[in-house]
Structure 1
C-alpha cells in the first residue's frame, strides 16, 4: 500500500530507525512485538495469529461479524473486516418498546415537574423511564459485539470499519484490534439525571471499544471519531445537551496489560477512561491492575479524557495532542493514578493555556518529562501549578517504564503521528 510505504520511509527519514511494528506476510497474523508496552508483558499479545484455516473469516455485515465471533469458542480466530459495517440497526424507532414516547418522557421528568433532587433509577417498569430502559436494552443487545479470547480483528484495506458498533472485550485474554475506523455509537435513549451537577445531565451508554476486565489487548492503527454525529449536531432539552455519546475507548474493571499504539482519537468529548470510579468497590477490583501503554497516538479536537486515569500504571509517550474548540484538558489525574507522560507533543491554539493540559482530580503524583508545547520544551507540572495554584500537582509517579521499543524525539512526533496513525496506515 502506498500509505504504508510512505510511513515506513518517513520513520526512517525522521528517526534513522526502522519501524518497531512486527511484520509478516499477512498483517492479520502479526503479533505485538516484545517490549511494546504493557500489552507485551508476561505471555504477550498474539490474538488469533495461530488460527487454522477453518477459523479465518472475512465479513461484510454485522450479522456475519457477530456469527464469526461466536463460532469456535476461544479457539484462535482471525476476523477480517471488509468495507464499513453498519451496526446502527434500521433506526432508533425500531428499538423503542410499545408505549415508549419521548414527548411523554420530557413532560414527566421536566425539572419544574420532577425537581432536581431525585434521580430516575427507582421508576417502575411501566413508567416513561422504565420504558426508556427497556428500549435501551433492545439497542444494547443489537449494537454490542462480545469478542472472545485469542481473537484478531483486522480491517482489510483503507476503508474498513464499523458505524455504531460497541466492541466488548470483557473478561477475556489475548485480543488484537487493528486497522479499523469506528464511528461512535449513538445512544437512542439517554437517561436524564436531574442530580448530575446543579443543572442535571443527559447520560448515555456505549463506547466504541470497551475493555472491561480484558487482559493482553493490542489496539493498533484504529480511528475513533463521532463521524456524522458530532456533539454540535445534538439537540438540547431542559437546557442541557442531549448527550448521545459515551467514550471512544474505556479500560475499566480490572483490565490489564493493554497497548494502544498508532491510533487516532478525534472529534469527541469524553474520550478514554482508565478506571471508571473512585468507589471502594471499584478500587478493590482496580488496584494493582489497569497497566496501559499509549504511544504514537493522535488525540485531535477532543474536550477531555485523553485519558483520565484512576489507579493503574499508565505510560503515555510519543503522542500528539492537537487541541481545538472547547478544549478542556488532556490528562486527568485521578485517584491513586501513577501516570508517566513523557516525550509527547502538544499543539494548542491561541488562548489555550499549557497549564490546562493536566487536570487534577486527586492528589496523585505523576512523571511528566520532555514534553513539547507548540514546539517548546515545557514542564507540564510547573506550568499547571503556576496557572492553577489551587490544584497543585506533585512530581514523581514512583515507577519507570521499561516496556518501550523505541522512543522518538518529541519534536518529530507530530510529523510521524499525523501522517502514520489511524486506520488505513497499517505497516
Structure 2
C-alpha cells in the first residue's frame, strides 16, 4: 500500500474528528487566548504547533519552516471575527504567534461586525456609471484614466484595502479549526516576512469593489483587480497546506462586460512574487478562477534570479483558466498534482506557463479535460524553454508534454527542452499520476487531511 493510501485513510479519520471539535473560546471582539489544555478539542494534538516535515519541498531547505510553533501561551489566539483576527495579527509583527480561525470571518465588516458593501467604501463622488462614461475608449482614447473619477476610484479603493488586506508577519501560524474555517473577502499579504504557515483555511472571494480600467493591456484594454487571496511578496520560508482558494460567491464569469472586456473583480488566488523564496504548497485546492498562480511578476525582474524556489505537490486545480502556475525565473518542482477542466470551460487557456528563465520540473501530474481541450493546450511558453515533464497522465493516458508542445502547440513561442539545470532533492515519495489523482481528489483542500 502506498504512503498516499495510508495517509488518505488517516486523513479521513482526522478530518471527521476535527469537524466535530469546536473549542471553547471567549465571546465578543478580539482574540481569545488558550493558556493550556487541548486547544483542538479532542483530535489529540495541537495542529497549530505543527512544523513543516523534513524534506517537504523547498520550504524545508535552510533550516525549515516552523511558523509560530515557538509561541508562548500568551500568543496563541482563537478568533471568530475580523476585529479579533486583526488584533491577533498585530500589524504583521514578527512575534511568534499561533492564530486559530473558528467559523467564517468576513473581512468586509466594520469594527462592530457590521457588513460593509461597495457603497460603504465609495467616496469622493465615485460612481461606476459615471466612471464608465468618463473613460469610454471611444471618447477617452487609450490614455490611462485620470481626473476626478479616477481620483475618486483610488480613494475608494484605499478605503476597502484598509479593511480587507491583512498583513501576516514573520513567525506566524494561521490555521483553521475544524472543517469549516473560512476567511471571506480577505486578501492575506505576506510581505517581506519569513517563517509563515497557513493551513486548513478556505479563502473565498477576495472581491475588488473598484477595479481599474487599463486601456492598453493586451492591445484591447482590460480590467485590473487589486487583491489576491494570498500574496507572497518578498516572503521566505512559507508553507501553505490544505487551503482552499476560490471566487466562491462572486464568480467573474457572472460579472458584466464593459468596453468589450469582462469586469474582473479578482486577481490571483496565490501569487508568489518580488523575490519570494523557499515555498511549499501542498494538498490545497484552487478552483473557479481565471488566473490562479503567478510565480515571478515580471520579465525584467532579474533580481529574482536564484529565488522563487517553490514546490507544488498534491494540489487540485479545478476550473482554472490559466496560470496553474505561470513561472518566471523560479525553480519550481511540480509533482502529483491534479488538474480538472470541466466540460463547460470554453475559456480555458493553459495550465503550465513557461516564462523568462523559468525551470519547471514536473513529475506525475494528472489532467482531466473535455474533448475540445487537447494535451498540447496544457503548456504555453513565453521567453522560456525549460520544462522537464515526465509521468504525465492526460484523460487516463500517458502523454509526452514536450513532444506535443514542440510538434503542435502554436501558442508557444519556441521549442521546449527537458534540461532545466537542476534536479529536485527535497520532496516526499512521488507516486504515479493515477494514484495521486485519486488521493488528491479525496484529500486536497481545507477541512480534509491534517
Same fold by TM-score, threshold 0.5 exceeded? yes
CA contact (8 A) 1:7 1:425 kept: no
Indicate how the Cα distance of structure 1 residues 72 and 413 shifts in structure 2: closer, same or farther if over 3 A, else same.
closer
2:329 to 311, 330, 333: 311
Query: Does 2:84 align with 1:69?
Result: no
Q: Partner of 2:291 in structure 1? A: 270
Inter-partner Cα distance in structure 1 for 2:50 and 2:169: 18
Partner of 1:323: 341
**2:172 corresponds to which of 147, 151, 162:** 151
Q: 2:302 aligns with which of 283, 291, 294?
A: 283
TM-aligned CA deviation for residue 10 of structure 1: 7.4
Within the candidate set 134, 150, 158, 1:129 is matched to 150
3-state DSSP class of the match of 1:129? helix
Answer whether contact 1:88 1:185 (CA < 8 A) is retained: no
How far, CA to CA, are the matches of 1:422 and 1:6 in structure 2? Answer: 18
Task: Return the alpha-carbon distance in structure 2 between the equivalents of residues 327 and 391 of structure 1.
Answer: 21
Q: Is the 8 A contact 2:186 2:205 kept in 1?
A: yes
**Partners of 2:69 and 2:305 in 1: how far apart?**
31
Runs of 4+ in 1 over 3 A off after TM superposition: 4-8
| Correspondence 1:293 to 2:319 | no
- TM-score, normalized by length of structure 2? 0.87
Aligned: 1:44 with 2:69:
no
Aligned partner of 1:98 in structure 2 is: 124
Describe the SS at the equivalent of 1:157.
coil
Q: Equivalents in 2 of 1:332, 1:267: separation in Å? A: 18
Question: Which residue in the other structure is 1:220 paired with?
Answer: 241
Partners of 2:327 and 2:60 in 1: how far apart? 20
Hey, what does 1:243 align to over in structure 2?
264
Task: Give the structure 2 partner of residue 349 of structure 1.
Answer: 370
| 1:73 Cα offset (Å) | 3.4
Aligned to 1:113: 139
The separation in 2 between residues aligned to 1:73 and 1:88, in whole angstroms, is 22
Partner residue, 1:16: none
| Segment of structure 1 superposing worse, 324-333 or 255-264 | 324-333
Report deviation, 1:197: 2.3
SS at match of 2:388: coil
1:426 to partner: Cα distance: 2.8
Q: Deviations over 1:65-109 (max 9, x none)?
A: 011010793221100000011112311111111311222111111
Aligned equivalents of 1:71, 1:195: Cα separation in 2? 36
Unaligned runs of 5+ in 1: 13-22
1:292 is displaced (CA, Å) by 0.3
CA distance in 2, matches of 1:340, 1:146: 31
Q: What corresponds to 1:8 in structure 2?
A: 8
Aligned partners of 1:85 and 1:163 also within 8 Å: yes
Could you tell me how far apart the structure 2 residues matched to 1:385 and 1:301 are?
A: 25
Identify the range of structure 1 (68-77 vs 209-218) with the bigger mean alpha-carbon deviation. 68-77
Q: 1:5 to 1:53 in 2, by over 3 A?
A: farther
- What is the count of residue pairs matched by the alignment? 406
- In structure 2, how many angstroms separate the alpha carbons of the residues matched to 1:212 and 1:33? 24
Equivalent in 381, 405, 410 of residue 384 of structure 1: 405
- Residue 47 of structure 1 deviates from its aligned partner by 0.3
Do the aligned residues in 2 keep the contact of 1:10 with 1:416 (CA within 8 Å)? no
Deviations 1:360-382 (A, max 9, x none): 11132111111111111111011
1:398 counterpart = 2:413: no
For the aligned residue pairs, the C-alpha RMSD in angstroms reads: 1.9
Distance 1:189 1:404 in 2: 41
